[in-house]
Structure 1
Amino acid sequence: MNTVSIATPPLPVSVKALGIPEIASLVGQHLSKTDLSSCALVAHIWFHVFTPLVWKSIVAGRPTSSHRQDHNDIDDTHHRLSLSKYGTFIRTLAIIPETVNAAVSDLDLIFECPAVDSLVQLTVNLGRGASDAVGSVVRRNQDTLRLLKLVFQLDKQQRPPGWIGERMFEFPRVAPCLQSLFLEYWYMSKQELVLILKGCPNLKLLSFGKITILGLQDEADEQAVGDNVNCSRARPNNKHIPGDVDKDFQHQSIETFRMCSSLCPILEYLPKIKLLEFYRFDRQIKDEELERFCTSLRTHCPDLQDVWAYGFECSMLPAILDSLPRLVNFRGSSDLPTVLSMLDHALTLEEANLSDYTERTFLPLQFLESCPRLRTFWTGHSFTTMDEVQHSLKRGWACQSTLEELRLSIFKLTPVLIEVIMRELNAERVPDSRQQRASRLEAARGDVTLEDYERQKEQQLQDAILALSPGQQVFRQQFTAFLATLDKLERLNFGTGWYTLARRSSSSSSSSSLSVSSSSSSLLSSS
């Protein structure tokens, strides 16, 4: 009897490729959690490839007590078994509570699981009484953690009188891999601070938000703070660490020091910092507090060059900038006094990002005319007029041979005029997904193809070019000719999006400037 053999059709090449664990893992990095879970159920080899990706990043919310009552023992047992089996795959863990006063036992499910021992990033927003659970998981993962963010939260109605933050738990003696440490709403002694820094020898970024460090205040202030925290010292995990402060200790790896809402004059421990950041300073800083910080800045950070300041309170910035012997990079909020302090460093300033500021009268052209080393200059909205720009071009820009990136707001500089200038410079618009989506929606509303819509927009632009006033034409010619002489200029933004310029050599700068007038006239004539 003849047997008939039915040949199995070959698998598609893509399916065969996904049989290779390394390729499947690369593909899995671009899939959602739902797709990863589905892939893990397809085949045995895919289960071993995609299951670690399912558990790699976990964002969990601690439920409220009322929500907790809906969970029965079977659910808890199921979750505990899953954690004990797959918890070792977790690398990024974020605990974001639905309420800041959730029950402490809700943390036990993850934090007391011994399988969760290979965390690389840990972010926890925790409430009162959770310090022991957090300390336990931090110590268990101290050899793998690179980033640790601990934010203590407590409703204002729950805060006891004089509350200045939660007592810092006993930090691991050594966290050799930790590179970024974010702490918010804690208090500690100077001894504990030094022990934390000693325990993180490879730390690169240190961020403090509303941190109280006992021992930094004057004796009278310290006594007042001590009276306020007596109610917290009674808890077992809030014992003071005995011993004197190691006054000679200095951390040799921290390069970025970030402060949120309050100043921390601990710069004597951070001699190698390169970047000083300020966030959420929405209150007036006391004069004595600011003077103490500036004194520490002048004494211990003579080589500090970069300052980033994002917030709404700018009154402290002039004193801080005046305390720096050399300022190279500034980003963030500013007002007129801050700008004047920045211009005092005009000979060293290389990057000024003033896109977030409180006043619109700081005359940004002063930077371009006064800073010979300026490479990057950003502003937001300003009242700089086209006449002022023309007068500035006659005076000359000190950064003409160094400027690489310019974002400048010019009052009443229309999108049509900007487009003409960019075309004459042969600049290309940086793709903007939002603008592309808007164009598609606009074309859909008009019931035309995207190509027809773009053709209509181009015709409207040409008509608007013909309507430019004589004054606008003069400004276009002068400004375009001047921008063509900036040999290192690569990116431009005058309020309608970013444009890129091809890097030009010094030999071609003269020819490019000479060809500007002819190219502009040809553009207008063609329209």
Structure 2
Amino acid sequence: MSRFTSAATSPQPEAAKALSIPEITSLVGRHLSKADLAKCALVAHTWFHVFTPLVWKSIKAGFPTSSHHHDDNEHNNSQHGTIYHRLSLSKYGALIRTLTIIPETGNAAASDLDLIFECPAIDSLVKLTVNLEEGASEAVGSVVRRNQDTLRQLNLVFQLEKRLRPPGWLGKRMFEFPRVAPCLQSLFLEWCMSKQELVLILKGCPSLKRLSFGNISILDRQDETDERATDGDTRRSGAQADNRDFTGDIDEGFQHQSIEMFRMCSRLCPILVYLPKVKLIEFYRFDRQIKDEELERFCASMRTHCPDLQDVWAYGFECSMLPAILDSLPRLVHFRGSSDLPTVLSMLDHALTLEEANLSDYTEKTYLPLQFLESCPRLRSFLTGHSLTTMDEVQHSLRRGWACQSTLEELRLSIFKLSPVLIEVIMRELNAVRTPDTRQRRAASLRAIPGDVTSEEYEHQKEQQLQDAIQLLSPAQQDFRQQFTAFLATLDKLERLNFGTGWYALSPQSSSL
């Protein structure tokens, strides 16, 4: 009996040895929930040391929305729970690498905030996300300072409703950023601030590569003048007192030398004067019309201060402002996003420099797709959304020639009424192999094979059905197949193809067809 007991309670040496390899442990942990990881940590002493770091690696701290009862038993239980969590944080807080604090209610208890923010054991964070109402800035500053040598990504959201702002309000300094996060690589901010505070923040992050703004307001002296004029002269003295920390001169000569990616959400932020090295600007969820004067100021700033800007990504919005922005770029290398006809025409003005064009995001139709292939000699990747491009138009384009014939590596092209059977024939003749995505793999695993048919017979039946369908292709389709396949085989660098039925990878022998 003891022999079976010991075998059941102690892991096999081979299993223990395998789980001591970090790569294997990480693969196992990727498929387990937090609860399952915690259970594994309780199995044995060896597993405890293997799985405990995975349990604590990523922590999301929220606060319950249910109403609190104030009877003695509930109060005692709450106290015991807090003590338990305090002991746990003190013991395992150093294992936390990702900490997310997103309260489910704005009425989080101060003791809960103190427990999380002031625990000295939490000193090895790599990513910190905080979404709180205004009022916890000093506590957040304490966490940032304590993790300054390890922190790489910081997301901060502090909301102060406009109706609660004092007259002439120019932002509120949350905490001292200088020398706080010298190793920070990515910073997301969402609150209203002055340009002076923004400069202080950027100075405190000398290694920053990625700067992202949510629905943010960068307030300057013009905003101050406008707001005071609206509120009336009787409130000016109070406004000056409330903002005395922000009335000094802004360091207009400051420029951040490491930021290469700048992302804006909902509004244009006129801070390009501080970002001379930016190479990628991303616009996200611009769901309103931008005023002409605001757009012109931004474009003028971009022309003046961003000589190295090459990439524009625009997601999820009507893109009326994009032509003006693209026309202001000295050169465009990569574009991803919405693509109405004016935007496409502005992109084609950069045909000699364009290397990547992804026109399939948030758009119902891609305009003039063949113009890109015929006009852009450096094009490496071209992805379209839906288009009404016909097989006849493609054949005429092949006769004219593609300027990117020696550079194209990736192509997703929508061709109207190109049947799945014809696509399959073209891919077979190119020796292309399907690379199914997750959804396709899941569908294939759920597809049932009839019980009276073996898998070999099932595949044979599918192949026979395909051959029968090939025989029904029209002469025009057969002519297109021969011409298009022969042309694609001449694209020496082409590696991936997609004509609407999924991605295919081309083998090295394809070009020798």
Report the TM range for the smaller structure's normalisation: 0.7 to 0.9
SS of equivalent to 1:150: strand
Deviation, 1:29, is 4.3
Deviation, 1:42, is 3.1
CA deviations over 1:301-333 (Å, ceiling 9, x no partner): 112111111121201111111110110110111
CA deviations over 1:360-416 (Å, ceiling 9, x no partner): 261111101111111100001111111111111111111111111000001111111
- Note closer, same or farther for the CA distance 1:131–1:19 as it changes in structure 2 (3 Å cut): closer
Check the 8 A contact 2:16/2:47 in 1, yes or no.
Answer: no
Aligned to 1:417: 422
SS of equivalent to 1:202: coil
Check the 8 A contact 1:28/1:36 in 2, yes or no.
Answer: no
User: Are 2:157 and 1:131 equivalent residues in the alignment?
Assistant: no
The one-letter code sitting in structure 2 at the alignment partner of 1:342 is M
Check the 8 A contact 2:185/2:209 in 1, yes or no.
Answer: yes
Aligned to 1:304: 309
Aligned to 1:110: 116
User: Are 2:485 and 1:484 equivalent residues in the alignment?
Assistant: no
SS of equivalent to 1:132: helix
Aligned to 1:392: 397
Aligned to 2:89: 83
SS of equivalent to 1:476: helix
CA deviations over 1:442-479 (Å, ceiling 9, x no partner): 32577755444433322221111111111111111111
Aligned to 1:61: 62
Q: How does 1:324-335 map to 2 (within 5 A)?
A: 324-335=329-340
Aligned to 1:455: 460
User: Are 2:245 and 1:250 equivalent residues in the alignment?
Assistant: no
User: Are 2:295 and 1:282 equivalent residues in the alignment?
Assistant: no
Deviation, 1:421, is 0.5
SS of equivalent to 1:207: strand
Aligned to 2:125: 119
CA deviations over 1:155-214 (Å, ceiling 9, x no partner): 99x877999997451143211111100012x11111111110110010010001122112
Distance 1:161 1:455 in 2: 76
Distance 2:201 2:431 in 1: 55
Deviation, 1:135, is 2.6
Distance 1:163 1:59 in 2: 37
Aligned to 1:195: 200
Q: How does 1:215-234 map to 2 (within 5 A)?
A: 215=220, 217=222, 220-221=225-226, 223=228
SS of equivalent to 1:119: coil
Check the 8 A contact 1:335/1:359 in 2, yes or no.
Answer: no
Distance 2:398 2:134 in 1: 61
Deviation, 1:105, is 4.8
Distance 1:371 1:81 in 2: 62
Note the residue ranges of structure 2 that are not aligned, 5 or more in a row.
none
Distance 2:229 2:252 in 1: 24
The one-letter code sitting in structure 2 at the alignment partner of 1:495 is G
- Note closer, same or farther for the CA distance 1:74–1:12 as it changes in structure 2 (3 Å cut): closer
Deviation, 1:21, is 7.1
The one-letter code sitting in structure 2 at the alignment partner of 1:61 is G
State percent identity of aligned pairs: 73
SS of equivalent to 2:508: coil
Distance 2:220 2:97 in 1: 37
Deviation, 1:290, is 0.7
Aligned to 1:519: none
Distance 1:139 1:204 in 2: 19
Aligned to 1:204: 209
The one-letter code sitting in structure 1 at the alignment partner of 2:497 is L
SS of equivalent to 2:93: helix
The one-letter code sitting in structure 2 at the alignment partner of 1:421 is I
- Note closer, same or farther for the CA distance 1:103–1:19 as it changes in structure 2 (3 Å cut): closer
Q: Which residue of the other structure, out of 378, 381, 389, is the alignment partner of 2:386?
A: 381
- Note closer, same or farther for the CA distance 1:67–1:328 as it changes in structure 2 (3 Å cut): farther
SS of equivalent to 1:291: helix
Check the 8 A contact 1:56/1:92 in 2, yes or no.
Answer: yes
Note the residue ranges of structure 1 that are not aligned, 5 or more in a row.
513-527
Distance 1:406 1:128 in 2: 48
Aligned to 1:518: none
CA deviations over 1:49-105 (Å, ceiling 9, x no partner): 432221111122222261586662111221122112211211101123223554555
Distance 2:257 2:346 in 1: 30
Check the 8 A contact 2:415/2:499 in 1, yes or no.
Answer: yes
- Note closer, same or farther for the CA distance 1:116–1:440 as it changes in structure 2 (3 Å cut): closer
CA deviations over 1:235-265 (Å, ceiling 9, x no partner): x998734532112211111111111111111
Aligned to 1:17: 17
Distance 2:54 2:242 in 1: 36
Q: RMSD of the TM alignment (CA)?
A: 3.3
The one-letter code sitting in structure 2 at the alignment partner of 1:498 is W
Check the 8 A contact 1:312/1:358 in 2, yes or no.
Answer: no
